[in-house]
Amino acid sequence: MRNVVKAVLGLLTGNRDKRNNGLAGYETLPKPILEHLDFRQFERTIGYKARSPRLFVEALLHRSFLPQLDEGWNSNERLEFLGDAVLNFLVAEYLHSENPGMEEGDLTKLRSRLVNRRILAQVARELRLAEFLLLSASAAQSLDQGSESILSDALEAIIGALYLDGGIDPAREFVGKTLLRSHTLQVALTDDNYKSALLEYTQAEGLGIPRYVIMREEGPDHDRRFTIEVYVGQERCGVGVGRSKKEAEQAAAAQALERFQQQTNQS
């Protein structure tokens, strides 16, 4: 199976070595890029010395920045496409190795929890990737307002660049020390992760700590029903109902996360 996946990745990428040999060094990059990007600091951030800096510049290049450059540059969308395929393979490989008795359906569910926009954006924030992205002013404003897609897309594009530049091993190492480390796994793979996910999101966005308020307790002792609202700042962001306070809080947090996601998608 691994050989089949590698063959598919090879079809997606074409001749990697031929492409790398045609790429310019960092010092020859256009002035707008040199003015906006500390590439050496970026290399330290991802823990990888690029053989082909232009690949990684394109991984950081949002389409909104293209008007500032001459023709011949591509946005990070193609690298994101490739990185998504590489990431799905690496996460599948990891989960298959670490869970030998797990059924295919459960493995698929676990992978979908890890490879989603919210988790990828969280990893990108922890790496402070926003400091390196090449964006227009309007796209930067969207990022400041909480856009997760810009961050998650850039992270996948970086994984694609790592694969093209050095093969599967550098990509595997990067995914292992970021997405597959214990803290991120705990948030992504536990069933009751909505409260912690909401807390991480609001803290990352500078919105403070969510506040849970019990609105109603109904029913006899053996069949209680709790209605809980969650507030971020002064705004009610979600309502949850459950047979326990914990269950209701989780439902409220899940609704709040969905609301923030919808706002992000509309921005």
Which pLDDT score, from 0 to 100, does residue 170 have? 97
* 71 lies in the same domain as 181: yes
Are residues 227 and 180 located together in one domain of the fold? no
Least confident of 25-29, 101-105, 176-180, 260-264: 25-29
Task: Express the helix, strand and coil content of the chain in percent, nearest 5 each.
Answer: 65, 10, 25
Q: Determine which one of 80, 84, 148, 200 is catalytic.
A: 84
Q: Is pLDDT larger for residue 202 or for residue 220?
A: 202
Q: Are residues 126 and 255 in the same domain?
A: no
122 lies in the same domain as 227: no
pLDDT of residue 182: 60
Least confident of 7-11, 55-59, 147-151, 238-242: 7-11
Provide the residue type at 129 as one letter: L
**Is residue 80's pLDDT more than 50?**
yes
Is 201 found in the same domain as 181? no
8 and 36 together in one domain: yes
Q: In this predicted structure, what is the pLDDT of residue 21?
A: 39
pLDDT confidence of residue 139: 84
Q: Which of 189, 220, 247 is the last residue of a domain?
A: 189
> Do residue 18 and residue 121 come from a single domain?
yes
Set 156, 165, 229, 249: catalytic member = 156
- Shared domain for 175 and 215, answered yes or no, is no
* Average pLDDT for 143-147: 72
- Helices 245-266 and 194-204 cross at an angle (nearest 10°) of 40
Residue 237: give its domain's CATH number: 3.30.160.20
pTM of the model: 0.64
- Mean pLDDT, range 205-226, rounded to an integer: 88
| Distances, alpha carbon 256 to alpha carbons 37, 121, 239, 241, in Å | 35, 17, 8, 13
**Are 156 and 235 part of one and the same domain?**
no
What pLDDT was estimated at residue 209?
A: 93
pLDDT band, very low/low/confident/very high, at 77 (cuts 50, 70, 90): very high
Domain boundary (163, 189, 215) is at: 189
Task: Supply the pLDDT for residue 15.
Answer: 44
* CATH value at residue 172: 1.10.1520.10
Task: Supply the DSSP symbol for 218.
Answer: E
Average pLDDT, the chain: 83
Q: Is 70 a catalytic residue?
A: no
Same domain, 230 and 98: no
- Final residue before a domain boundary, out of 189, 216, 233: 189
| Model pLDDT for residues 153-175, shown as the tens digit of each residue | 999 999 999 999 999 999 999 99
- Quick one: three-class SS letters along 6-31? HHHHHHHHCCHHHHHHCCCCHHHCCH
> In the predicted model, is pLDDT for residue 48 greater than 90?
yes
Is 148 catalytic? The answer is no
Domain that holds residue 142: 2-189
Assess contact for 208 and 232: CB atoms under 8 A.
yes
* pLDDT tens readout for residues 236-266: 999 988 878 888 898 888 889 888 877 776 6
Q: Could you give the CA distance from residue 147 to residue 247 in angstroms, rounded to a whole number?
A: 28
| Domains of the chain: total | 2
Q: What is residue 232's predicted lDDT score, i.e. its pLDDT?
A: 95
Q: Is the pLDDT of residue 267 over 80?
A: no
Give the percent of the chain with pLDDT over 90: 37
Is the pLDDT confidence value at 133 over 90? yes
Between 211 and 146, the more confident residue is 211
Same domain, 128 and 243: no
On whether both 183 and 105 belong to a single domain, the answer is: yes
Q: Which pLDDT does position 204 carry in this prediction?
A: 84
